[in-house]
Each structure stands twice: as structure tokens, then as C-alpha cells.
Amino acid sequence: MSVQTIMSLALLTWTMGNASPMQKPEDVMDNNFSPATVKSIVETEAVEEVMETGELNPNHYPAQRAARAVQHYINTRYGSPFKVFMVKKVHSGNAEDMNNVGRKYQLEISVQEIISNSTHKCSAEVLFPRGERQGVSEVSVSCEELGTLNTIKDDEALYEKLKTRESMLMAQSLPDSYGHIEPDMKPLWHLGIVASSFIMLMESTENTLYNMAQVGNVTQLATDTDELKFDYLILLHDMVSQEIIRWKLQISWSPLEGVKVQQMEKMPHCHECKKPPNTE
């Protein structure tokens, strides 16, 4: 599938978070941005990257970038096939330079669970390490309501359905070339979003911005444990370089243990893939 098609899928599927295509980025921060929004964010980065301390514009790149790290962190903590979170809005933000340690962001945000369409206000801190401490961003969130969202009945029903299948489940291209996902495949798409958050949180810096564009394929694996296991091929959209980056993941999931990433591997660059044309 061409990058142009994948980019089109990203635009077609951004409405899964109950967002209108006419809404502005300051109103909705979904899993995907339009090309015009991407252009605005990248241009803002060049202007604001020198600003190291003080109050931030909630709609501009530094605050939105830190908020995206919070989104990925929340998905790794609370996400499931029936719980997927996005940062809907950044209300306020401050940045503080921590000398050689890194740069710390303090945010007030609204987080939306896109399946139940419930919204929750949260406080968060993000430290992007640098220098000798450069590594995975450190995130903390104060939002107790996120852990109380109860999807156990849906989780257990899906678990039993997959655990008792006579053959291992397989699927490709979620969503397909028209942005469509069969209803019974949506839990696997949601599981892919949660799994991809582990990658994007690990890869997040002050100079990156990623979205999951597509589940290339997913295969259920045979296992002797209580947890279900899956192989995923995830396609990420690097919105700074406009490249599509492929990752292979092996994950486990059960209603009791949640989502765990067992293995992850970044795939070689796809030389046939070309950047999509600039469109407004």
C-alpha cells in the first residue's frame, strides 16, 4: 500500500474520536492531523524551539508535543481493546529548563476516551531528558477517573471469544483503503493503537511527533499461558519528516494483566515509499 493511501486513511479515520473534520487543532487533538495542521505545527516548532521557560501557548507545538507524550503514557497504563485515550485539549502549559537534566512541562489537559466518548480533566508533568540523561520521557498524570472506567464485561467477552477460537485470528489493513474497519475488527485496531503508544512514548522527544496510521497486519499466536498473544505490524506517521515508519510488535493481553509489549523491532526504511504530496 502506498504512503499516499496510508496518509488518506489517516485523514479518513480521524473521526473515530468523535471529531468533526472542520474542528481546529486547538479544539481536538486526535490520533491524526490534517496536512495543513501538520504544516502549522512544524512551522511553529521552528519559531518556538528557543523558548525554554515560562507560560506556553496551549495550541502551539511545545505544549501539544508534551501533551502527546501524556496521551501515549495514558494508553500504556489504561488502554485496552475497549479503552483508547487521546488528549482532546490543552488548557494551559508551562515549561521549565532543568539545566542539564532536561526540560519539564506542566500541563492542564482534557483527556477523551474515544469509545465511550467520556472526557476527563487531568494534570500532567512531562520531563524530556537531555544530555547524559537523555532517554525515554518521564510522565506523571493526576487523573484518578481514568482507572475507574469499567470495560471488564467487554474485555472478558472478547477474551473468551479469542481464547476459544478453533483457528488463530488474522487481519490485514486496519483500516482498509477506504478508511473502513469491520465492527468485529475494531477491538484489534484499538489494541494496535494502545500497542503503538508504547513505541511512540519510547521515541518521543521535543523534536518528534508521531501518529499511528494503520495496522498493516495482526496475527493471533498460539500460547499456553492465560494471556493472549499477537504479532502486529504497525505503520507510524512521522509528521515532522512525513515518512511512514514500520514497527513489528509482539504483545500480550488479558483483562487481568492488560497490554504488555514482549518484543519490538523497527523495520528497515521502505525505499519504495515516497512522501505524500503537500496538500491543503
Tell me what the pLDDT averaged over the chain comes to: 82
pLDDT at 207 over 70: yes
- Phi–psi pair at 104, nearest 5 degrees: -105, 135
Q: Is 190 helix (H, G, I), strand (E, B) or coil?
A: helix
Average pLDDT over residues 186-211: 94
Residue 240 lies in a domain: yes
Residue 86 lies in a domain: yes
- The predicted pLDDT at position 212 comes to 93
Give the lowest-confidence range in 15-19, 49-53, 102-106, 164-168: 15-19
Residue 272 lies in a domain: no
Residue burial 30-58, b: 16+ Cβ < 10 Å; e: rest: bbbbbbebbbbbeebbeebeeeeeeebbb
Q: Is 141 helix (H, G, I), strand (E, B) or coil?
A: strand
Strand order in the sheet with 258-266: 170-174, 210-221, 228-238, 243-254, 258-266
Give the lowest-confidence range in 7-11, 86-90, 141-145: 7-11
Residue 280 lies in a domain: no
Query: How many domains does one find in the chain?
Result: 1
Residue 26 lies in a domain: yes
Q: For 16, what's the count of Cα atoms within 13 Å in the CB-facing half-sphere? A: 29
Task: Give per-residue pLDDT as tens, 63-91.
Answer: 999 999 999 999 999 999 999 999 999 99
Residue 274 lies in a domain: no
- Phi–psi pair at 218, nearest 5 degrees: -140, 135
Average pLDDT over residues 256-272: 88
Q: For 39, what's the count of Cα atoms within 13 Å in the CB-facing half-sphere? A: 7
**Which is more confidently placed, 229 or 43?**
229
Task: Give per-residue pLDDT as tens, 218-261.
Answer: 999 999 999 999 999 999 999 888 899 999 999 999 999 999 99
Proportion of the chain above pLDDT 90, given as a percent: 64
| Cross-strand partners of 233 | 217, 248
Residue 276 lies in a domain: no
pLDDT at 182 over 50: yes
Q: Report the alpha-carbon distance of residue 164 to residue 201 in Å, rounded.
A: 33
- The predicted pLDDT at position 33 comes to 45
- The predicted pLDDT at position 132 comes to 61
Find, among 199, 260, 202, 200, the residue nearest to 230 by Cα.
260
Residue 271 lies in a domain: no
Domain CATH for 54: 3.10.450.10
Q: Report the alpha-carbon distance of residue 82 to residue 196 in Å, rounded.
A: 15
* Entry pTM: 0.80
Segments forming the whole domain that contains residue 70: 3-266
